[in-house]
Structure 1
Amino acid sequence: MGSSYCHPALKQLKEQQARFAPKQERLEQVDRAETLLGEIQPEKQYPYEYLWYRIKGYRPETAPELLLEGSGVRHDLRLFIEDLSGTVGQAVDQAAEPVLTVEAVCLRFNVSTRTITRWRRQGLVARRFVIDGRTKVGFLESSVMRFVESHRDQVDRGTRFRQLTDEERDEIIRRARRMAQVGQGGLVEIARRIARKMGRSTETVRTTLKSYDRGHPDRAIFPPMAGPLDEEAKGQIYRLYRRGVSAEVLATQFGRTRSSVYRVINEMRALRILSVKLEFMPHPSFDDPTASETILGPMPLPADGKAPRRTKAPKGLPPYLASLYEVPLLGREQEAHLFRKMNYLKCLANRLRDQIDPSRARTSDLDEIERLQEDALAVKNQIIRSNLRLVVSIAKRHVGPSNNFFELVSDGNMSLIRAVEKFDYARGNKFSTYASWAIMKNFARTIPEENYRRDRFVTGHEEMFEAAADTRIDEHEYESAQRRNQEAVKGMLGRLDDRERRIIISRYGINGVSEQTLEQLGRELGITKERVRQIESRAQDKLRRIAIEEKLDLPML
């Protein structure tokens, strides 16, 4: 079953109850949601107010006039039940009726775990309970019986599915042992090959092999892995994965299954996300699920109803200053909208972060957190770009004989970025007032400090230095030369073959890629360290010849 809600309003309702509703009230809401689920018809539409009333037991004071499709409501209610029950931490012995685990349902109906997964997508309601000290999926006895009654034919087909004979089971074990001894892959790969040859599903073969290993630990075909990975090994797996090494290669290299490698990757990724400090300005509207659409909607037009016009830059300005005039200024309503949107996106990301357990992190949750943070950063950059002209205007007023204008602009930009993070838009003040105060306060501190250092370390030869000719390259000329060199290097690399280009980029850290040793590259490419060195030397010779042909003066060659 998909892990994403079809209707954001129901997802907001779940998050609100998970944060604020008492434990007993959440359990009651889970029961009401399951009762409601049995009444929803896919072809009909249902008002959100009605769903709220059936789940919470009372009518809301205000609710959006939403009509939700019944098929999406059925999907979301199953997610609602599972997610909200998972926040309660209810033990199986505290449930009002017997609780069946996935394994118990498989045994009762003689089906595989994959069949149970398919049944869940088709309507079998699952909850989360604490089983053996861990939160796991479980099914109430009544939930299973309701599903069986409404899907009798489907359950009968699954029960009648032809079971493995003893001869087939022995053949699977024999084939798997032979393939494992000659190193033809791990459990999943070998199960897939055997399933294809014997006309069985991969899951059936995999389950058979795992059951055999559990029952015969002294003769296990795929014995349990060594002890748990330490933090250094986990970090190495994550770094290699980000460099493009596949999970299959990492599983072989570290002696793990592919699924365990993905768990390690998600764990390290979650720790990296949680290590980044995330601050936002809260607002009462953030707790209102009906306000989300307005907050995340398009930016309003100015008060006069006209689209903002770009101001034409005066002639003769440096490129940086001229580019500032391409960004239109913000009106008061637009400014407030962007600040609220930025902080709301951070608030949503923070709520998801609070629910993350690094050891059990899901890829979909981590993707959603990063998406929200990237969206918040995009809004922040929009606010910053619209206020850069303010920094320039303040810097002009502080320019003096000993103060460089562009250094003041750079310092002021840093103050502007900090001001965007700290501004409380809910007070109704204009951001330009707050930002001006922050920039001028910073100048009032840094300019005297700079003057003091200049006076403190005077050499007595300043006139000679000022009169001397400046033989340094012009800043813009230097940047142009750098761009030309980068384009030249990119074109030269394009004339190498794939392996040569891969080695050169990884050895010298081109385009931000982390540098790697000869041994690391050899391990990734499946060749010896000496062979990597030979390919690197050959590629360097090619690059030198290309540079000579193109008459390029590249210092790195």
Structure 2
Amino acid sequence: MAKYRLASLAELARQMGFAPQDVRALQIARAEELLHIIDPARAYPLDFVIHRITDYRPAEVPPELLAGLALQHDLGLLIEQVSATLNLHADRLHEPVLTIEDLCARLGVTVKTIQRWRRRGLPARSVIFPGGKRRVGFLLSSVERFLTARGAGVLPGTVRPAPDAAETAAMVRNARRLAVECGCCVELMCRRLARKFGRSAMAVLHVLRQHDEQRPDEAVLPLAAAPVDAETAAAITSAYRGGASVRDLARRYARPRSAIYHVILDGFIRRLARRRVKFHDDPLFHHDDAAQMVEALGTCGALSEPSGRDDDRMPRDMPACMRELYRTPLLTGAAERALFTKLNYHKFLFVQARRRLDPELARWREVRALQKHLGAAAAIRQQIVRANLRLAASIARRHASGEAEFMDLLGEGVIALTRAADGFDISRGNRFSTYATWALMKAYARAASRMRVRQARSEGGEERLAEMADARAAAAGRNALDRDQVAALLSRLPVRERSVLAGHFGLEGFATPVNYDELGRMLGISAGSVRRIEARAILRLRQMAAAARND
């Protein structure tokens, strides 16, 4: 259990436990307000802390300064422990309460990140959730305020007070229309209302649930359509990517077009969220005019012009389909720096935009912006690969034994160049050809080995399999002969030495080898004695084997 770092805060928490329940609830709220404004680098007087929490300034207070870092830790502990005495129920509070799992899913972070945020001042209360289980909970407004203050992004919706009666009535009225007239499911309904009222979907769902509990005869949520299951959603997304229109899919699955639209949008968002994008950061990317500066780099270095000497250096056995690619001009140093900077900049923009994307409030224009950055990065990567294909071809010729194998290796080279382009760091001052050469050599060595194994299997056929079978049979016969010789030699050893060798190597009735400790317990001696007996027995076996060979 966590302990207080400041004795004065531990005493304050103990005294708060004697206050009436409504006073304790107010003091917890005031403690959360104080926790949000604490600066870990500053020190705070004890009377200031007591007054901010209890609204009472005692006559005699020790002139104690509390370190901000320790105060931040103890305030979080005070809020959690004192709130446990209130028996707060999540479904009875005035705003949504999030669990640690909810925060991880909503923000795409790990449990360790949430725990780190708690140490840095994220207030957490002890709350009883549906089912009667007591867990740590976070008020939605507290999470939004914490993230906003630290620039870590916010949950959907701004920090706003709970909706009043007029806003609640408008939400219920619009929710009823969406459920009855548009056939929306609960999730889609909450998303559309969240966008309309500028709140999070979770806050909207909380309002609708409270309305249904208070007025069960006018309940709204039961009117919503059933959600689209995962199998149907996958089929809809696949059909859309195959060319089907939203109208045709809505007619086929008897769903409103808005529901089909969001199913397809969710599918694209999930694919983009799973996309692994690696980039090398640059201070240039964080300037306000980074786009203009990166674009200006592209005009500083141009591709080298192709010359007739390139045709002279082209290998005579170069396949016709590769001759045009081989004429692709090489990159100058300036052009290479410009292309790799643009490549990493577009990947940087993609990662930043994906972090800001809220799946519940996302629109197609945001998804298209993400796809645009990926498309631009892919085009630049392809340009880099094409400019270095002659390097891949020259190295492939050293490993290939024919035109067919050369083309297979060249395909492996394109894959290796693509991966190398994603991993290359232009800021280190090296040329890409130096980095790519090692990647190509490794890829070709592995590919050539696989090709030769496949060729040997296809050409050898049954004869090679028969040879392998004969070799294995001969080896098995030799092993059987060796085992017989070992058994004959073991029979000539003293009983204790024979038992030690048989037990340690799994011979003569021992199904598995036994370690020295177990052998020592079986023989009533120490493990060191077992080792010495084994060494003496092995030496005796070697002497007997040498004598047998001489005879």
TM-score, normalised to structure 2's length?
A: 0.43
Structure index of larger Rg:
2
TM-score, normalised to structure 1's length?
A: 0.43
